[in-house]
Structure formats: structure tokens, C-alpha cells
Amino acid sequence: MLYAAVTQYLGFEMLSDEYKVMGLALYGGDSLVPDFRRLVNLSSNGFYSLNLDFFQFHETFGKTSYVSEKFYKLFGPPRKNRDPVDKRHQEIASSLQSLMKDTAIHLITHLKRVTQERELCYSGGELL
């Protein structure tokens, strides 16, 4: 839901255009990673949760945006579909991708600790 929400925020169609956000991430840096870390709580038991103050997809009936006003205050106004993509959009996409990578590493590290397995197999994209 986090990725879908940011996809929509960046002016793309959520649950369809996430690949565009992944591609856009290649052009940005990690300057907004500290801000994105406010969106996800990583717990010591290996789990994670979203900070729902930044989202409204859990109460979207009748609303057009998956992100809340608090998200807009942190990251600025959303990009409209036909607006040009700028450096800020690239930074948002890249920082989101970094957060997703950090969250996956958090989960995998916990899994390794719990299972005591020496080797784990990960599939689904660039991780390290």
C-alpha cells in the first residue's frame, strides 16, 4: 500500500504504474530517506508497520488520495499526471526504493536470526 500510495502521489496510476516509480528511482538520490523512515516503523521482533498518520487508504471511501495532509506537509504537493517530472520526484522515488530495500533487509535479517539458517534465497529485485 505504501508503494501504491506514493505511485499515486507521483501522478501515476496506482496498482498499475509502480514500475514507472522503480525506473524513476534510478535518477534520484537518497536525500529523503530520513523523511521516508518516518513512514515505516521497524520493530525489534522483525515486523514492520506503517505510520498511518501519513496515509488515508485505510479510510479512503469517498477520498481520491491514498496519502494524508501530513504526507503533503512532509513531501510537498503531489504531481499531476501531465506535469513534468522534476528532481524532487526523482528523489522521492529513489528514497522510497531505499526504504523498501531497508525494510526487506530488516525482514530477512530477522528471518535468518529466527531460523538459524546460514543461507537464504531472496527473489524479486535488486536488494544489495
Per-residue pLDDT of the chain (128 residues), as tens digits, is 899 999 999 999 999 999 999 999 999 999 999 999 999 999 988 899 999 999 988 776 656 789 999 999 999 999 999 999 999 999 999 999 999 999 988 998 999 999 999 888 877 665 44
In a domain, 100, yes or no: yes
In a domain, 75, yes or no: yes
In a domain, 122, yes or no: no
Residue 15 CA, distance from chain mean position: 13
The C-alpha angle 69, 71, 24, rounded to 5 degrees, equals 135
Contact 103, 42 (CB under 8 A): yes
In a domain, 60, yes or no: yes
State the pTM of this model: 0.88
Domain that holds residue 35: 2-115
Total domains, the chain: 1
